[in-house]
Each structure stands twice: as structure tokens, then as C-alpha cells.
Structure 1
Amino acid sequence: MASFNPLARILEDNKLTGPNYFDWKRNLILVLTAAKVYWVLTTAEPEEPTVDAPQVERDRRQKWTDDNEMAKCYILGSMSNVLQQQHVGMATTTYIMLNLKELFGSRIAQLD
């Protein structure tokens, strides 16, 4: 199925299979940056706001949650089916990326 989104097309054409981890990660960073969701990989997940928390805290948490889900879709959609199945249950993009780094980032970390 052809993608109409040029950003998604970059990842579709360069799916993560393992040996291409560093090239895939470079492309992923480009796509997530252009989609304005890369920040969830570099920002800690905000704590769940209390019932009486100010609206700005609830909005910040919701924005992080929404952007994390969008980034997660880009990441999972750009993996081989086997890798996708292994990572689909992970809650955050940070956990996914840490696990992938452990699996495939044995070369000198070029893009951290």
C-alpha cells in the first residue's frame, strides 16, 4: 500500500530489520522531528496529575501522552513484523528505543 505521507514513506522504505539500526534511527529522528513529536524521546513522562491539579499540568500530560502515541505509531510502523510484535506492548517510546539500542546498538553509539 503506497503512503501519501512523505514522512511515513521514508520509514516505510527503510523498515528496521536489525542490521540497519543506525540508518533507521537517523531516518526516524528526521521523521519524528518533522512531525513535532521527537521531544517525547528526550523528555521524561510527566506524572499523572492529581484531581485538583491546574489545567496546565493536565494539558501538559495529555500533550505528552498524545505525542508519545503518535511517535509510537511511527516507530512500530517502521519495523519488521517480528520486531513490531516484540515491542507493541511497551508503554512508551523511550522503552522501545532503549530496548532496540540494547538489541542492535552494539556499534559505537553514533546517534545518541
Structure 2
Amino acid sequence: MPLKDSKNLEGENKLIRPNFTDWLRNLRIVLNLEKIGYVLIQDPLLIGIIPDDADVDQLAVHNADVTAFDKWKDDDLRAKSYILASMTNELQRQHEKMSDAKSMVNHLQELYGEYNRIARYEVTKALFRAKLQEGGNVGDHVLNMIGLLQRLEELNISLTLSLK
């Protein structure tokens, strides 16, 4: 990725505790732009041992697996570099020895998932307590409600309406 594109993960988008959700969204945008976002989802391909009596087709499959594994390793290294570059120094020290980008993000989710839970609670509480004040502007109330619903969506909460 050119240096100017990596600026998306610097400055205000650098990972600090309360902005984990925004940071992760920005990270996924950058990794998907680089076409390496799959490393946060997929584990590396396991490569088997070639038997001595392998035929040409088995060798071709094995070579394709080795090529795919090497690509995954290179893409994972790039993703880890983006992740580490977008963290505070303290978080970098805690995560630089982790084996892959997926485990880094999973660990960060465990660390900062509590903040997401609190944020979900606060936004949900605000949504369910929101009332149009008598004589209040309906448009402002609707915009407030839409904003709260969008914030819930950012936190991966979907409210489903089931009427039976």
C-alpha cells in the first residue's frame, strides 16, 4: 500500500481503547483495499507431506497449496504490519510477537469487547428512552433516532421486528 493510503490508520484512527470499533472498521477498509482482508478470517492452508509415489496430479496440487500458503504468509505479514503501525506503542509491544493478524484482532476483540458491550448498552438505553418532547421538533427527534440506529448498526446490533 502506498504510504499515503496507510494514513487512514494513523492519527485519530490509531487504536486506543474506546475507538476499537471504528479502528477495526478502518483496518478492514484498508486491508480490503489491499485485497488482504481475508487473513483476518481464514486460517492458513495446511500443507501435507508428499508421498514418495506421488503422481503428477498430486504434485501439482501440492505445489498449488504451497503457493497459496506462501501468498497467505506474505499477506498476513502485511496485515500484521498495518495493525501494529496503527496501535499505540504499548499495544505494539503486547502484540508484536503474535503469530498472525487474525489472532491479533481476536485478542484485541477480547481486550476491548467490554467497551463495545458498554457502548451497546448506552446506545440501546438512549434509543429506548428517546421520546418526542411535547412541542418538540419532530424532524430533530427523527434525526436523533436515525443516528442512534446507525450507531447500533456500527456496533453490529440489528433490531429485528417480529410481529405475530
What TM-score does the superposition give when structure 1 sets the normalisation length?
0.87
Q: Does 1:88 align with 2:99?
A: no
Runs of 4+ in 1 over 4 A off after TM superposition: none
Residue 43 of structure 1: SS of its match in structure 2? coil
Unaligned regions of 5+ residues in structure 1, if any? Answer: none
Query: Which residue of structure 2 aligns with residue 8 of structure 1?
Result: 6
CA distance in 2, matches of 1:57, 1:28: 27
Residue deviations 1:41-94, cap 9 Å, x none? 111221244356521010010011000000000001100000010000001111
Query: CA RMSD of the aligned region, Å?
Result: 1.8
Residue 19 of structure 1: SS of its match in structure 2? helix
Unaligned regions of 5+ residues in structure 2, if any? Answer: 52-58, 121-154, 157-164
Once the two structures are TM-superposed, the CA of residue 12 in structure 1 deviates from its matched residue by 1.2
Instruction: Confirm or deny: 8 A CA contact 1:49 1:61 kept in the other structure.
Output: no
Counting only pairs closer than 5 Å after superposition, residues 37-76 of structure 1 correspond to structure 2 as 37-50=36-49, 54-76=62-84
Equivalenced residues, count: 108
* Larger Rg, first or second structure (1 or 2): 2
More helix by share: 2
CA distance in 1, matches of 2:48, 2:68: 9
Q: Choose which of 107, 130, 135 in structure 2 pairs with 1:99.
A: 107
What TM-score does the superposition give when structure 2 sets the normalisation length?
0.61
